[in-house]
Amino acid sequence: MDRQSLRDRQAPLKVRYREDPSSALVTLKAEGTLGEGVTCKVDTGRALAEAGLHPASGGDGTSLCSGDMLLEALVACAGVTLRAVATSLGLDVRDGTVRAEGDLDFRDTLAVDKVTPVGLTAIRLAFDLDTDASPDELETLIRLTERYCVVLQTLTTSPKLSVTSTAR
């Protein structure tokens, strides 16, 4: 997709969202079904992904780790956002790699140490890009990618989260 095609696609959406802000609100959904053993099957819309325990918490490595899936979602969103921003700015990014790493101390999930925080304690996102963009253009590209990446901003701002349960 080129710059003009992207603008042409987004222009009517921007007008509609300005005129009717409620039309911009979308509820994204995900659903999983508890699987055999210690797994959960998640329908991604394209395939069925089965998440299970990471080997560091007792898994056998045959199922996807939900922590890895979180980082994969970050990489996917950041990569798509970077491509859209580069296209919008008219920057030629010929190729690139997006990497995310997250630190997790498994003493937390195994209740070995009650002081160790549960969850990722640090996440690093890195871009390795094949581009002739100037240092200023590259800084703008990354700044705008950070600003508009939904997953990155969700992790950064900690949205309100509620948990409910029902018994059948």
Looking at the domain assignment, is residue 10 inside a domain?
A: no
| Residue 127, domain CATH | 3.30.300.20
Q: Which two tokens stand for residue 84?
A: 């859209």
pLDDT, tens digit, 9 for 90 and up, residues 58-111: 888 898 889 999 999 999 999 999 999 999 999 999 999 999 999 988 888 888
* 28 within 8 A of 77, measured Cβ to Cβ: no
On whether residue 33 sits in a domain, the answer given is: no
98 lies in some domain: yes
Residue 102 in any domain: the answer is yes
Percent of the chain with pLDDT over 70: 100
pTM for the full predicted model: 0.86
Residue 18 scores a pLDDT above 80: yes
Mean pLDDT for all residues in the chain: 90
Residue 3 lies in a domain: no
Q: How far does the chain reach from its first CA to its final CA, in angstroms? A: 48
Q: Using CA atoms, how far apart are residues 160 and 134, in angstroms rounded to an integer?
A: 39
- Residue 148: name the closest of 44, 5, 6, 43 by CA: 6
Within-domain flag for 109: yes
Asked if residue 118 belongs to a domain, the reply is: yes
In a domain, 107, yes or no: yes
Q: How many domains does the chain have?
A: 1
**Residue 138: domain span:** 65-157
